[in-house]
Amino acid sequence: MSEPPRGATRKGCEVGQDPELISRGWEWRCNTDDNRARDLVENYEALGFEVLLAPIDLEGLDADCMGCLESLRQFHAVYVRRRRPGPSPDAAAPPETGAGTPPDPGRIP
C-alpha cells in the first residue's frame, strides 16, 4: 500500500503500514480491535510467529472518517515475523512507531 503525499488526507481503511517495522522484518497482517487481537496473537504464536501490536497512526485522517475516529483509536496494527532462535531483538526495547509504544500482546485484556 503506498502512502499518500505529505499533507494529503487518507481514509481509515487506507491507514498505512509502519515503514520502520517493515524494515526490521515485520510483516503487516491486519488492523484489529482488542476483542480479536487476543485470538490473532494466540494463533500466530501457535504457528511459530512473533507478534507485535502497534498503535495505528491516525494523523492525516480524512474528514469523512472522523465519525469512526474513536473506534479506530481502539485498533492496533498486527505485525508478525517468523520466530528466531534466542531472545527477540525487540524484546528489550519495542520499536517506536510514532504513535506511542505498542501494547504487550501478553497483556491484552
pLDDT in tens, 47-98: 999 999 999 888 878 888 888 888 888 899 999 999 877 665 555 444 444 4
Q: Considering the domain boundaries, does residue 108 fall inside one?
A: no
70 by Cβ neighbours in 10 Å (0-12 / 13-18 / 19+) ranks as exposed
**Domain annotation covers residue 98:** no
Angle made by CA atoms 66, 34, 53, in degrees to the nearest 5 = 90
Q: Is residue 92 part of a domain?
A: no
Range of the domain at 79: 12-84
The total number of structural domains that make up the chain: 1
Asked whether residue 99 carries a pLDDT value surpassing 60, the answer given is no
Asked whether residue 42 is domain-assigned, the answer is: yes
| In-domain check, residue 109 | no
pTM for this model (two decimals) = 0.66
